[in-house]
Amino acid sequence: MMTASLAQTHARISWPDRTLIIAVVLLSSIFPVELFSNTPPAPKGFDGQYSGKQGQVLVVKLKGIEKATEVNGTFLKRTIPFFREFRSGEPDGYIGLLGIDMQDEPGTYELAVEVKQGEQAKQLSFNVLVAKENFIVEHLKLPKEKVDLDEKGAARWKTEQEQVKQALEDNSRLKLWHSNFVEPVNGKRTGIFGSVRIMNGKPRNPHNGEDIGAPLGTDVAATNDGIVRITVDHIFSGKGVFIDHGLGFYSMYFHLSEILVKDGDLVTAGQIVGKVGATGRATGPHLHWGVKLNGARVNPYSLLDLPFKNGLIPADRLATPTPEATPDSQAIPVKE
Ligand SMILES: [Zn+2]
């Protein structure tokens, strides 16, 4: 029966139709693409633009995208995974959190986004204007042995760096955070994220987190839900906790006097993970709070300003770009 119906279908194609099919097949092999479309590819940045300062986090929202199998952006060779967002009464969209590293050179760069829907892939392109942040210059005086490492100390430091690097490679591909971010310690923030540090007269690496002053033993809370990827006792950071919040998002808590979690523990936003201390290279009790977002060192306080409430972004805080948008309207400023 099957063979008979196939034969009938075949027989129904008339001679002029068959000639046309053969002609199209022949032509398309001679002019593979141009025969059907001569539209040039869209210029870079065609889908809109964003802007922000060094150390800020930008919320990038893609609207009008049906359920995709995978959405990933690339910005300055860093991968930005997008996640789906649901809001009642609105079409579903995808959101990506783009971190601008504190040392990204000011300029305009492309955020290229690939939206995969099954076998098909669609490319989107945004311009991101990175503006300079005026980081302060800090002069610090510390005992010589706390600044300059001897041979043994240098070897230990190298091993510790490698240990952290390996632990953080193993990041969760699921988004583990669900609510708004919380401040780990209610203390006086020093506002020295990104500061250029001159120690005992010599320039050092810029300060890659924020220091919060608080009395010894003050509770330190996880900024959001996540998994404790590694706990350490290192030469510079002292007793420290690294929390993986998923999709390349990490928060770090250093110089603790006590660690109250173990590697692999699941933690929730606000859960106490340790106590304020002065372990490692610290002049007094404080929390060093750091955040890494897909490899970019961002100001941890930019998390608190993210417009997430129970995992949703209020519509008035969303920057959905249009090709005409002015760059400055897209920035989500860091709290001064
Ligand atoms: Zn610090």
Phi, psi of 177 (to 5 degrees): -85, 145
- Give residue 277 CA to ligand 1 midpoint distance, Å: 12
Q: What is the number of alpha carbons within 13 Å of residue 78 lying toward its C-beta?
A: 21
CB proximity list for 90: less than 8 A, separation 6 or greater: 315
**Per-residue pLDDT tens digits for 139-189:** 888 777 667 788 999 999 999 999 999 998 877 888 999 888 999 998 888
- Give residue 259 CA to ligand 1 midpoint distance, Å: 17
pTM reported for the whole predicted model:
0.78
- Give residue 210 CA to ligand 1 midpoint distance, Å: 6
Rounded CA-CA distance 253/220 in Å is 8
CB 264 within 8 Å of CB 228: yes
- Give residue 290 CA to ligand 1 midpoint distance, Å: 8
Is residue 244 predicted with pLDDT exceeding 60? yes
- Give residue 106 CA to ligand 1 midpoint distance, Å: 24
Q: What is the DSSP string of 193-256?
A: TT-EEEETTEE-PPP-SEEEE--TT-EEE-SSSEEEEEEEEETTTEEEEEEEEETTEEEEEEEE
- Tell me the β-bridge partners of 226: 267
* SS3 readout for 133-155: CCCCEEEECCCHHHHCCCHHHHH
**Per-residue pLDDT tens digits for 194-220:** 998 888 888 888 999 999 999 999 999
What is the chain's alpha carbon radius of gyration, rounded to the nearest angstrom? 26
- Give residue 51 CA to ligand 1 midpoint distance, Å: 27
- Give residue 288 CA to ligand 1 midpoint distance, Å: 4
- Give residue 236 CA to ligand 1 midpoint distance, Å: 10
- Give residue 134 CA to ligand 1 midpoint distance, Å: 18
Query: What does the pLDDT read at residue 336?
Result: 29
- Give residue 60 CA to ligand 1 midpoint distance, Å: 29
- Give residue 195 CA to ligand 1 midpoint distance, Å: 10
Residues around ion ligand 1, judged by CB within 5 A, are: 211, 288
**Per-residue pLDDT tens digits for 65-118:** 778 889 999 999 999 999 987 766 666 789 999 999 999 999 999 999 999 988
Per residue in 178-209, is it b (16+ CB within 10 Å) or e — as a string? Answer: eebbebbbebebbebbbbebebeeeeeebbbb
Going from the N-terminus, what domains does the chain have, and what CATH number goes with each?
1-39 (no CATH), 49-133+308-330 (2.60.40.10), 150-190+208-304 (2.70.70.10)
The CA dihedral of 303, 304, 308, 313, to the nearest 10 degrees, is -80
CB 277 within 8 Å of CB 213: no
Rounded CA-CA distance 146/220 in Å is 25
Specify the amino acid at residue 214: A
